[in-house]
Amino acid sequence: MSIQQAAPAFRNKVTVGLLAAVLGCVGAHWWYLKRPYAWLVSLISVSLMVACSFAETWWENPAFFLLFIPTLDGFVEAIVLCLMRDERFDALYNPGLVRDKPSGWGPVLVASFTLLIGTVAFMFGIAMVVIYVWTALGLLDGLDLKG
């Protein structure tokens, strides 16, 4: 009696790119690629999200700014993984499996979308840090920012 092992699943560049772009802050693409320590990325991110929820104003909580690190990492990894050559991607994440056809334009479109959204998120993070620091230093005293 022999135990038959399941064939390893073929990992798709579009899927990993979308997971990294949309849920990269919690390490969803790490789980998909079966990377070690995926649980640690998820644990840290969820802990930071919980810490943000306890703040009176969540976007002024230092945990919110720390959450930008795994979020931006997800954007960067989405671009890198989507634009990686098919041969190299398959050697790293699909060893021994054969790709039926080239990945085509899907990963390029995901990388373009990720670059757009990631740039906006990065600029937002920088703006929030600048406003927070300038407010703490009193440089915005007397200015009506809401008007």
Given this model, what pLDDT does residue 113 score? 94
Give the residue with greater pLDDT, 145 vs 127: 127
pLDDT digit string, tens, across residues 38-79: 999 999 999 999 988 888 877 777 888 888 888 889 999 999
In a domain, 31, yes or no: yes
Residue 124 Ramachandran class (φ > 0 left, ψ -120 to 50 alpha, else beta): alpha
Query: What average pLDDT score do residues 118-140 get?
Result: 85
Give the residue with greater pLDDT, 143 vs 21: 21
Closest CA to 62 of 122, 118, 133, 121: 133
In a domain, 97, yes or no: no
In a domain, 99, yes or no: no
Does the pLDDT at position 2 exceed 60? no
In a domain, 98, yes or no: no
Given this model, what pLDDT does residue 57 score? 76
Instruction: Give residue 30's domain range.
Output: 13-92+104-137
Total-model pTM: 0.81
Domain count, the chain: 1
